[in-house]
Structures are given as structure tokens and as C-alpha cells.
Amino acid sequence: MAVDSIVVEADEDVPNVVERLRQVPFEDVELVLPSRSRFAQSRFNFQLLRQYAIRLGKRVAIRSADPAVLRMAEESGFTVRAMPSGGPSPAPAAGPGAGVRPERSPRPVDRVRARPETAPVPGRAAAPGARSAAGLPGTPSARVPAFPPGGVRTDGAALSGPRLGDVFGRLAGRGRSVRSPVPVGPRIQIGALQRFPVPVTARLSLPPYALYAGSALLLLLGILGTVFLMPSADVVLVADARPITSNVEIHAQPGAGPIAVRVVTLDRTRSTTAQATGQQVIKGALAQGQFTYENSCPFALDIPAGERLRTGDGIEFAQVGDATVGAGSATTVPIVATQPGQRGNVGAGQITQIEDNQFSCLQGSNASPTGGGVDEQKKTVIQQYDLDTARSLLRQQLEQDLLNQLNQQTRQGERFASPPIFTVAQFTTDHNVNDAVPSFTATMTLKVEGDFYSLQDVQRAFATRLGQQVPKNEQLTSDAVRTQYTVTASGGGHLDFTGTASGFVAPRLDQTAVAGEVAGKPVSTARQQLLSTLHVRSVDIRQYPFPLPMLPLLGSRIDVKYEELVVQGAQP
């Protein structure tokens, strides 16, 4: 496999090395780098060389005596070969024709130095097979002329010839047999040759300083763009304005109308234990029984109704109806206690006293006990007031719970129509009115419909209705339109907005065109131009994030606001 060697001079950089690499006809190339080579001082140069070698289809090996150079080359993906620290060593002399390479067309370089003729050492015989300068073996090249006497070029100019060490080092790197050189006097230098045409990729190759300059230029452009494109400005034009007010009525419903409506339905159930507060009085009952009169008198006796009869401890009874007791006979009559209560229930034979009895021959008693006497009683019962109180309390609690849930359903920029729509509550109890219980349980289920609307939509819709009332030669100023309205909900998301919209109008102008006219102009010039062409009272220019001597270059970064100077005493 043919391998060519390129000896890189100390002052050669990446473009020169790549150019020489391109001219080599072999795929395998050995690059010989001296210790102080300018090319080997940067890892970036090895990376560029690696990319160009891949494009050119070359397999490059690096030979150097500097370990640092070999390490950078190996890290960049090259095959490395160590070399003695003295530099490239010349190949040993060979026989006739040894080391003579075929003729190749000269490489297109900016400077071509002539390889000096090697003069034979005095007193030393020429090597066997060596030829003269006319093409005989023993000379480095038959194509290089000898230096003329005087050390000048053919045009008479002074000349400093190439260093012999570099020349013979290059020859040794190319595998030629070279004898030890001796100093010679006359030398010449051939003038610069014209560069052969090179591919476009080689023409586009730039030295490192060009890349650094390009990066600095891009950074400068970025800074300039930030300074002149990113800032923004507000241009506030103040003009005489008059107030304008319009009545507005807008109907909205879900999916229709200028105001978006969102319907939310919620339900909740609550139970509570309530106390019965009603009082019911149960009257006492009179004890009843029978009393038997016994008449031992010789004559009959008439006893009227209501005759009082008593027990030994004073419990009083009254005779029911009139009675006649015959002589020597007995008569039984019904009696009833004069006071209700269980006290009137007495045993047999307890009633023995007859009130105002004037006849000792008249006596009597109850043959059987009396009964039916009941004391008066009071009971706690449920009254209608108790049910109404429980219903009101539950509804109040449920409405508050549902309102809290509606507030949690509210999205940013929304509000629901207040008050929301509550359905008929379902109210049940476990006892009814007049039930004699100390407490009862009441349960209620309540549903609510919340109709949410967008505040921005309302503001925009009212401003649009107000704008429809503005004359054609005027326009609303940038001041926010003031709105006052009430919302009425009728169920199913149907909302009616009724109120007024107020603002200010001023002479019409094209705010976009104004921004374009002052873009990129100095602040003072822009202010003076607007004052003279628009006939406004004042111009206020505010720049963000910091003031600059000129306005942004883009009109889109300038926001023109048209505000009012209200006439004294005028109100929208």
C-alpha cells in the first residue's frame, strides 16, 4: 500500500495543510509535525483536519516527537507514530536509483523554495552510483537548479534562502536518500507560482481568526437586536374629549348572544332535630256513683236535686235529679262529685253525710264505690309554628351551603347571577301537628341553578353598544368604558343585562399608522411630530424596560393610547 509523507513546516496553518493533503494522490498519508509547529498548537486544528480528511477520503497518520502533539492527535481520532526528538531522520543511502520517486506535478503553493544542491564534501568520494547535477544519482532532485554566485535572484534582488535543516528534513520525510549537507554560498529563490483551481469546499475554508470574528459579529448583532427590537414604548395622546352615555339592554343564554353563559345545577339535603313547643291541656273528669236514702220517719220526704252529700274527709257530691223517699222506705239516686279529679273516686259506704238534714230519721250511704274521676293534665305537642321554624332554618342552611359550592365552581373572570335560582324545597317530618312528642326530625332537599357569565364579555358587549352610538368622525378613547348594570335570571341560563355604558369620545385617528410613523425616531422628534400633525394637547412617551434615545424600530412594539382630557365639569 502506497503511503505518502507530508512534512509540515513550523509556520503552516490548517488551510495550507489541508491544501497539501488534497494534492496527495494516495489514500494513506503520514503527516510529520515538528515540535514547534503552529498547526499542532490547537486541538481545534486536529478536529478540522479530521473532518477534511474524511471528506477527501484520506487515512492520515500523525508522526511527531512531541508527546503533547501525539496525545491531541490521538484524542481527535488519528493514528499516531512517535519520532525521535531530534526531528525527522534522513533515510540511509541506497544503491543506484534508490529513493528516487516518480515525477509529480508541482503542488500549487503560495511560495516555492528551491531545494539547494548538495555539494560534495571535499576529500570525500561520491557514493557509488551517484550522478551529477544533470540527473546523476546523489543529488536530491535533478529539477532543482544550483544557486548562482552572489546569493541573488535572477532579477538582482537580495534573497534569503530556505533553512537547510527544513529542506533536508522535508526530503527525509519523503523517503529520499540524502547525504549530509554542507553549507554552500550562492542560493536563489524561485518566485511565487499561480495557484491551481481548487474545489469550492477548499475555497470556503476559513482560518480560525475568521471564525472568532464571525462569532463576535453575531454577538454584537444580538446585543443590538436586544437594544433596538426588544424594548417597547407607550405613546399616550391626550386630546379634548366629551362624555357619552348609552342605555344598554342585552339578553344572553347558553350558546347564543354576545355574553357567554354557563349553567351549573347543584342539590343538597339536610336534616335537623327540632323541639316541640306546643302545650295541650286535658281537663279533669268528675267521679260518679249512687247514693241510697233510708227514711224511717212516719211521713214521706221530698229531696230536691243538688242535695250535697259528703264523705267523712269532706269530699263533696251532688244529687242528680229530684227524689221522694216514702215513709219507712229507701230510695237510690245518682250522684256526681262537685270537683273533678281522682279524689272523687271513693269506696263504698264512704259517703254518709247529708247536708242540712233536719230529720234524724233520714239517713243514707253509697252502697258501691264511685268512679270516673280524672285529674286535669298538660301535654307538650307539635304545633305548626314548630314545623315552620324547622323549615326556615333548614332552607337558610341549605342556601348557604349551595352558595358556597357555587363560589367554588366560579372560574377566573366569571360571576354568577345573584341571587341564584332555588327550586321548591322538599320538606318532610317524622311527626305531625298536635302529636304529643317532645321533639321531631325534619328533612329538606334543595336544588339551585347558578348562571355564570364572563365579566370581560359584559364589558366588551357594553363597550360595543356604546361604540355604535359614536359619530363616524369620532372614536372612543382608550379609557375603559364604565358600566353599571343589573342581571336578572329566568332559569335555563337566560340572563337579562340592563344598565348603562359611559365613556369619552375624541376626533378619530389611526393608532396603527401613528405607531408606524414614529418607529425608530428619536423621542424628541417623535413628540414634536405628533404634536404638530395630530393637534393633540400633549404627548407622553413611556419606554420599557428602560428609556432609550430613540423609539423601537418595529411599530408593533409601540402601543398608541388615546386618552381624554375631560372638559371641566363633564361627567360620562
Lookup result for grid cell 424600530: 553
CATH number for the domain spanning 322: value is 2.40.30
386 and 272 in one domain? yes
Contact 32, 173 (CB under 8 A): yes
For residue 254, give the nearest of 452, 122, 420, 422 by alpha carbon.
Answer: 452
For residue 262, give the nearest of 490, 494, 459 by alpha carbon.
Answer: 494
Contact 130, 137 (CB under 8 A): yes
Asked if residue 308 is part of any domain, the answer here is yes
The structure's pTM equals 0.43
Asked if residue 440 is part of any domain, the answer here is yes
The residue among 393, 424, 451 that closes a domain is 451
366 and 406 in one domain? no
CA distance 379 to 521: 96
Q: H or E element: which one contains 395?
A: helix 384-409
Other beta carbons within 10 Å of 354: 20
Asked if residue 333 is part of any domain, the answer here is yes
What pLDDT is attached to residue 262?
94
CA distance 215 to 209: 10
Lookup result for grid cell 531545494: 115
* pLDDT per residue of the chain (572 residues) written in tens, 0 to 9: 567 788 888 888 888 888 888 888 888 999 898 877 888 888 888 888 889 888 888 899 999 888 888 888 888 888 988 876 555 544 433 333 333 344 344 444 343 333 444 344 344 444 444 443 333 344 333 333 333 443 434 344 333 344 434 433 443 444 443 344 444 444 444 444 445 444 444 444 566 777 778 888 888 877 766 655 578 999 998 877 889 999 999 999 998 889 999 999 999 999 999 999 998 888 889 999 999 999 899 888 888 999 999 998 989 999 999 988 988 899 999 999 999 998 899 999 999 889 888 888 998 999 999 999 998 888 899 999 999 999 999 999 999 999 999 999 999 999 989 889 998 889 999 999 989 899 999 999 999 999 999 999 999 999 999 999 999 888 888 888 999 999 999 889 999 999 999 999 888 888 888 999 888 889 889 988 888 888 788 899 988 888 888 888 888 889 998 886 654 444 55
CA distance 29 to 58: 7
336 and 297 in one domain? yes
Q: Quote the number of domains for the chain.
A: 2
Contact 21, 29 (CB under 8 A): yes
446 and 421 in one domain? yes
The residue among 428, 451, 474 that closes a domain is 451
Task: Please report the DSSP string for 350-361 in residue order.
Answer: -EEEETT---TT
Contacts of 520 (CB under 8 A, 6+ apart): 550, 551, 552, 553
Task: Please report the DSSP string for 45-105 in residue order.
Answer: HHHHHHHHHHHHT-EEEEEES-HHHHHHHHHTT-EEEE--TT-PPPBPP-STTTTPPPP-P
274 and 416 in one domain? yes
Nine-digit cell string for 246: 348609552
Asked if residue 345 is part of any domain, the answer here is yes
The residue among 423, 451, 479 that closes a domain is 451
Asked if residue 388 is part of any domain, the answer here is yes
417 and 273 in one domain? yes
274 and 418 in one domain? yes
CA distance 452 to 507: 38
301 and 424 in one domain? no
443 and 411 in one domain? yes
For residue 498, give the nearest of 298, 321, 226, 248 by alpha carbon.
Answer: 248
Rg (Cα) of the chain, in Å, rounded? 64
Asked if residue 523 is part of any domain, the answer here is no
271 and 288 in one domain? no
For residue 237, give the nearest of 541, 510, 551 by alpha carbon.
Answer: 541
364 and 326 in one domain? yes
Asked if residue 342 is part of any domain, the answer here is yes
386 and 362 in one domain? no
Asked if residue 339 is part of any domain, the answer here is yes
Nine-digit cell string for 520: 425608530
Q: What does DSSP assign to residue 415?
A: E
Nine-digit cell string for 470: 359614536
State which residues form the domain around 435.
Answer: 263-278+380-451
